[in-house]
Amino acid sequence: MSDLSDVIPQPRRTTSGAGGFFQLGPATEVVAGDGTERTARWLRAEVGAATGLPLAPGTGPGDAVTLSLDGALGPEGYRLDVEPTGVRLAGGDPAGLFWGAQTLRQLLGPDAFRRAPLPGRSWRLPAIRIEDAPRFGWRGLMLDVARHFMPKEGVLRYLDLMAAHKLNVLHFHLTDDQGWRIEIRRHPRLTEVGSWRSRTKFGHRASPLWEDKPHGGHYTQDDIREIVAYAAERHITVVPEIDVPGHSQAAIAAYPELGNTDVVDTGALSVWDTWGVSPNVLAPTDHTLRFYEGVFEEVLELFPSEFIHIGGDECPKEQWRRSATAQARIEELALADEDELQSWFIQHFDTWLAERGRRLIGWDEILEGGLAKGAAVSSWRGYAGGIAAARAGHDVVMCPEQQVYLDHRQHAGEDEPVPIGFVRTLEDVYRFEPVPAELTSHEAEHVIGTQANVWTEVMENQQRVDYQTFPRLAAFAEVSWSTLPAPGERDFDAFERRMAAHYRRLDALGVAYRPPGGPLPWQRRPGVLGRPIDGPPPNK
């Protein structure tokens, strides 16, 4: 049984009961009201496995966990009542009920996060009432599987980790210069060629070290369907990202006609084996548009999400400046320059997606040429792009690089593995504020949420991803869920005390997090060059 104050993210309101506890035992039933079957199934599968209890379907009312829906609790809200005679969990909707079940699991103690019961454990819930609801509707994690491929089982594991932290959007970065990770049936070379590179730069792009073996992999369409269904069972939306028109060398290596063939021998290109921003970008031709419309048609069949992410960032223009084809397109469309050409490219897919009932979302560069009304912006280059987007009436997901890029190093110590970017400690992430003070209350309504981004250039396996992501994702989860004071007034000491219990949950889940005292010997990467940036990050 956990202490009442151990729950992460912190609930909105917690009231201690009259004393005592409810003991789960072999006779404890789960009484599932209408619309609660998904959470009942999850409780039996996960909590049942950890406790060894059947949690059989029942009719109650005694010795039971009773599940119900109560629309008055609001979207994703829940109320948990624990009394010595039984447990009542109500959700404002099925998602809220599920988040309440996550809280119930935390209250059972860290061993409730194991896959099989340990001997001699008893399962008590403290008498308590918790009333809770999230601050933001978009509480996301961006997982980059393009730079280093994460096999399907690893993605499913991360969905479970997200659910345990009440995060509800997986931004799935599926394509980039270094790899194409999703099967597209009408264009099979995207994975036959584009999902493999011959070698990999080890460390930052300035590192002299190489791993001289092929790296790659991709998800079949059935893999994607499984991932999306698994996420939906956990009330997580998967938002795919297919990058255009930059970050596209893997696609061009597979189909050279997609590139700027009049200025570079695209047939000689391979999937990029280093990091950074490739100069090889898509050609602004009708063929390219039709090709990617075909890609997106298959993507829409696989992902039911409202939003489709099209990247739109970091598109070098040098090849377009030298390309007669690109210059003819600029003249034909009466555009001012290559920047407007990129905007035309993005706007084409903005309109195309809107005609199919979807909404485009892209990195904040897409603002530069104007957007359709329904398009949204991922603000990564600090807060400025998000502020401009909100003031222009566009929805915004705040994910500023300087604050919540979890590939950035966690400490200034020399033992940090492949140190990248600014120091972003657990406390720094805990004091991140997604809504800029410059926005009026009306403009702030366009900040639909926030997400932490995990770019995997220097994360060669799941353990490295764990190390960079945790424990900071727990702090981020609280920022995105809980209604906290202003950053400087947040009680980080109290959060650290709650983390003492949370580390034990992460241990039970097998998460290779960064320990508070620094990296373990096997977590270090001595001699591998990074790119640390000194000083505090800009907060703008």
Antiparallel, parallel or unpaired: β 169-173 and 307-311: unpaired
Cβ contacts of 417 within 8 Å, gap of 6 or more = 458, 464, 467, 519, 523, 524, 525, 528
331 carries an active-site annotation: no
Q: What six digits make up the tokens of 371?
A: 């957007």
Residues 499 and 492: their CA atoms lie apart, in Å, by: 10
Catalytic residue among 70, 160, 314, 496: 314
DSSP secondary structure string, 186-242? Answer: T-THHHHTTTEES-EE-SSTT---EE-S-EE--B-HHHHHHHHHHHHHTT-EEEEEE
Antiparallel, parallel or unpaired: β 179-180 and 175-176: antiparallel
Residue tagged 């008055």 (tokens)? 72
Q: What six digits make up the tokens of 18?
A: 């009259």
DSSP secondary structure string, 351-417? Answer: HHHHTTT-EEEEEGGGGGG---TT-EEEE-SSSHHHHHHHHTT-EEEE--HHHHBTTS-S-SSTTSS
Catalytic residue among 247, 309, 446, 502: 247
176 carries an active-site annotation: yes
Rounded CA Rg of the chain: 24
Residues 322 and 327: their CA atoms lie apart, in Å, by: 8
DSSP secondary structure string, 409-437? Answer: -S-SSTTSSS-EES---HHHHHT--SS-T
- Output the CA–CA distances (angstroms, integers) from residue 519 to 109, 404, 476, 525, 529, in the order listed: 26, 20, 20, 10, 17
Cβ contacts of 363 within 8 Å, gap of 6 or more = 311, 312, 313, 314, 377, 378, 380
Question: Partners of 129 in the beta sheet?
Answer: 15, 81
Q: Three-state DSSP class for 119?
A: coil
Catalytic residue among 29, 132, 176, 177: 176
148 carries an active-site annotation: no
The catalytic residues are 176, 247, 314
